[in-house]
A and B are shown apart, each in its own frame.
Chain A
Amino acid sequence: MTSIISINNFNKGFFKKKVLSDITLDIKTGSVYGLIGPNGSGKSTLMKSIYGLVKGSGTISSLGKKGVHIREVVSYMPTEDFLYSSMKVSEIIKFYVDMYSDFSFLKANELLDHMQIDPKEQVSALSTGMKMRLKIVLCLSRECSCYMLDEPLNGIDVISKKKITETIIKTMDEERSMIISSHMLGDIELILDRAIFLKNGRVVIEESLETLREERNSSLEDLYWEVYND
């Protein structure tokens, strides 16, 4: 297990608007990390900071790279609707092939097929569930060391959830790591190795799920209540 992402004393914002405070984390290979917390706890901001879309103080590095160069080894799926609505799916795939040297056209087509997305469709014609599936395809078709998915299961149908979760599991291996954020533990609990609980921009728990279950003898949903109920 080697370190893939190193975050050291990262801070974003100031005074009352401190979005992230003293974040120090070490993301290692071979583990799926769950970034847990309610809306506004800083999950998206943390992911964007790692990816270089948000700037703050402190250091974040991945395999010796910093800033925009982290994107060469980290693949990121934002929660926002960021795809050009006037492009067709096949055109978006072509864009990714052109822009990311580690993007696998082969894998993308396999995944599009598995997710039942028609490459000839325009993005604007896709339903919410299909758009999410497409975003997942784009993120996971890159062959790299770390994948960050921001709320990949948010507000979509059960079938999409199953297909997406399966794809996440299939992409994972000992040389890779994943960070999946969610404000609902229930959906992703079974696929996580470790959980990072964020509260008001701070890391309050960073532990393996096995340890948490063994220590507490209660469900993680109860733990969630404990941490955030105030």
Chain B
Amino acid sequence: MKFRGDSPIYLQVCDKIKKDIINKLISPGDKLPSTRELSVKLTINPNTAARVYRELEDEGLTFTQRGRGTFVTKDSEKLKVLKKEVAQNAVDSFLKEMYEMNFNNSEIIGILKDEMEVAND
């Protein structure tokens, strides 16, 4: 996994795990690697790995069973909310970029329609 230099590592790892959940690379109920395994796999500090799981747990996306590990939630509501959040973030970033380039809403919708047609071929 490649890291960007401008945002906290733990956030980047959280985002990656969230994306993996949405992309079905990780399924609901799956056991995630231990903090130690995660830190070794990504070559990051063990405290950072611990922070990743704390964040995910705070957001209700994972839960920890003492002595057994950390698991992805099976709660479909939470997963729906996650999917929506990730989508919203992607769109927000996109809109921010477009507005910075001074596109207005109708222009943006026009470009979107064109590109969707191209993508669906």
Contact = CB atoms under 8 A, between A and B. Distances in A.
Interface stretch (B39-47, B64-72, B106-114): B39-47
Interface residues of A, number: 23
Contacts of B4: 219
Interface string A187-230: 00011110000000000000000100110011111100000000
A69 interface: no
Contacts of B7: 213, 217
Interface in B4-54: 4-10, 36, 39-40, 42-48
A169 B46 contact: yes
A170 B43 contact: no
Contacts of A162: 43
A173 interface: yes
Contacts of B47: 30-31, 193
Contacts of B8: 210, 213-214
Chain B interface residue bracket vs A: 10 to 19
A162 B4 CA distance: 19
A193 B40 contact: no
A41 B21 CA distance: 46
A7 to B, nearest CB: 22
**Residue among A30, A213, A218 with the most chain B CB within 10 A?**
A213
**Chain A: interface secondary structure?**
helix
B6 A169 contact: no
Interface string A152-182: 0000000000100110011011000000000
A165 B45 CA distance: 10
Nearest to B50: A174
B100 to A, nearest CB: 17
Given A190-B43, A191-B45, A170 B3 contact: no
Contact of B6 (A30, A192, A193, A219): A219
A177 to B, nearest CB: 12
A219 B47 CA distance: 20
B43 A219 contact: no
A107 B94 CA distance: 51
A169 B5 contact: no
A191 B39 CA distance: 9
Contacts of B44: 169, 190-191
Contacts of B43: 162, 165-166, 169, 190-191
B46 A172 contact: yes
A215 to B, nearest CB: 11
A109 B7 CA distance: 39
A111 to B, nearest CB: 14
Contact of A193 (B5, B36, B42, B45): B45
Given A30-B47, A218-B5, 5 more contacts: A190-B9, A190-B48, A214-B8, A219-B5, A221-B5
7 contacts: A166-B43, A169-B39, A169-B40, A191-B44, A193-B48, A210-B10, A219-B5
Interface of A: 30-32, 162, 165-166, 169-170, 172-173, 190-193, 210, 213-214, 217-222
